[in-house]
Structure 1
Amino acid sequence: MKSKVLVVIPAYNEALNIEKTVLDIQENASDVDYVIINDGSKDNTLEVIKENNFNHIDGFCNLGLFGAVQTGFKLALQDGYDVVIQFDGDGQHSAEYIRYMVEEIEKGNDIVIGSRFVTEKKPFTARMMGSRLIAFAIKLMTGTVLTDPTSGFRAYNKKCIQDYANDMNNPPEPDTLVYMLRKKRKIKEIQVQMSDREFGESYLNLANTIKYMSRMMVSIFLIQPFRKVK
């Protein structure tokens, strides 16, 4: 039986990118459903969404990535979807890989990560230092090698849809992968290509990057290993 797939697109101030993102899905993954979670955008993201009649849920305030994505998981759980694809609204992910990710879920994997570094080498750049540190921390705590744990391009099966929809302690971040591995969730990476953001700026400036890395390290070493497995 063919999987019922929902692409969840969190969007905050993505007015210049969201149209291209949805058109990519419509052209390259036309057999899946999608929903944009407008996370209280302060620009005209909502206007662009409405002008194009894109499927969406409008959040009246900014909940952050976790709140936006969990809203999508709750919708998927409610409507009986088999697979959720987490897909950024900034145009960096490519919908052509969605079918390969779904295929890997159908083969028995619980989480599939679209990785830039399965077959390609990770560059030694300041930008990739955080990814290397997180990957090292996850390997140290679980023994599992993940080449691109910070990738926001992921597929989740039904069990994980429930995990993420119902538990406030499971943000779609790298640290939660430690807990998922402790739950014996099977994680697979596949090689993908990602584009650079064309418009707007990432929230990860230097100060936010330091805060993010500090939070990830504390969680990976001091929180996730000691959570009660449900």
Structure 2
Amino acid sequence: MQNEAMSGRAEKRRRGELLLVIPAYNERENLPAVISDILLSGEGIDYIVVSDGSTDGTAELCRERGWNYIELPVNLGLAGCFQTGMKYALREGYSYAAQFDGDGQHRAEDVRLLLEKMKEGEYDIVLGSRFLQKKRGGSMRELGSRLISLAIFLSTGKKLTDPTCGLRLYRKTVIEDFALRLNYGPEPDTISYLIRRGCRIAEVAVEVRERRAGESYLRPLNAAKYMARMLISILLIQYFRGGREDGRTGKG
């Protein structure tokens, strides 16, 4: 990839079958703890930080610390940033790739639970869930998550307890989708779309921590807009998405 030449760190460093794709926009303060958590989690998990046009020195920190990273020259947003990471996963031959937040909310140890579940049931996608073993609270964000769960059920017949959790694991066939054919972000509407295309999906209970530093994009107004956009997309727009050329989604 062109932007990997800029970074000089997306090299042959593969140690395992699983890659954590870490989209990062201005996460300089959070990344040291995130990378430390991954490195302390044991063998078999690789990572790639994708700095999405960061302006706070995120890429410079990755370079100084010798971390594996890709630097995007401009901000592409989550869809383009994540697709860059999935292209890297496909090129390097990983069997599994996980979306892993760069703000310290996710735990590397939980990714192993997702991987165990995926192998055990031959699933295409395994989602982390904060609510599989406990009830949602009454916050606006949790209400929005409940509405999105309902929308996914109405459009696919699949019950998901936490479709907005950002910890998601994909097997190779879905890596190929995101890398080559799906120009969409890894959001609940895309998950709904992939279910309708035949992907097998499961959830695993995980712990999600508070953001370590900085501000979340999903402040109240943005969160409301996000939820509305997801609901409209799940219930309406996804039915107009183009199908895959080779029809292999969820077929192994």
TM-score by length of 2: 0.87
**Separation (CA, whole Å) in 1 of partners of 2:51 and 2:76:** 10
Between the two proteins, the alignment pairs up a number of residues equal to 229
**Separation (CA, whole Å) in 2 of partners of 1:168 and 1:183:** 12
Query: What residue is the counterpart of 2:66 in the other structure?
Result: 53
- Aligned to 1:113, the other structure's residue is in SS state strand
Within-5 A mapping of 1:1-230: 4-107=17-120, 108-230=122-244
How far did residue 72 of structure 1 move? 0.7
State whether residues 3 and 82 of structure 1, in contact with CA within 8 Å, keep that contact through their aligned partners in structure 2: no
How far did residue 141 of structure 1 move? 1.0
State whether residues 36 and 55 of structure 1, in contact with CA within 8 Å, keep that contact through their aligned partners in structure 2: yes
Q: CA distance change for structure 1 residues 3 and 48 in 2, over 3 Å: closer, same or farther?
A: closer
Q: Which deviations, in whole Å up to 9, do the C-alpha atoms of 1:82-107 show, x marking residues without a partner?
A: 00011000000000111111122222
How far did residue 149 of structure 1 move? 0.3
Aligned identity (percent) is 47
State whether residues 17 and 44 of structure 2, in contact with CA within 8 Å, keep that contact through their aligned partners in structure 1: no
How far did residue 46 of structure 1 move? 1.8
How far did residue 197 of structure 1 move? 0.8
* Segment drifting more, 217-226 vs 130-139: 217-226
State whether residues 105 and 210 of structure 2, in contact with CA within 8 Å, keep that contact through their aligned partners in structure 1: yes
**Separation (CA, whole Å) in 1 of partners of 2:133 and 2:224:** 28
**Separation (CA, whole Å) in 2 of partners of 1:210 and 1:81:** 36
State whether residues 101 and 155 of structure 1, in contact with CA within 8 Å, keep that contact through their aligned partners in structure 2: yes
**Separation (CA, whole Å) in 2 of partners of 1:88 and 1:198:** 11
Runs of 4+ in structure 1 off by over 4 angstroms are none
- Aligned to 1:224, the other structure's residue is in SS state helix
TM-score by length of 1: 0.95
- Aligned to 1:128, the other structure's residue is in SS state helix
Query: What residue is the counterpart of 2:8 in the other structure?
Result: none
Structure 2: runs of 5+ lacking an equivalent: 1-14, 245-252
Q: What is the RMSD computed on CA atoms of the aligned residues?
A: 1.5
**Separation (CA, whole Å) in 2 of partners of 1:44 and 1:224:** 37
- Which amino acid letter does the alignment assign opposite residue 80 of structure 2? G
Q: Which deviations, in whole Å up to 9, do the C-alpha atoms of 1:201-220 show, x marking residues without a partner?
A: 00112232232122212211
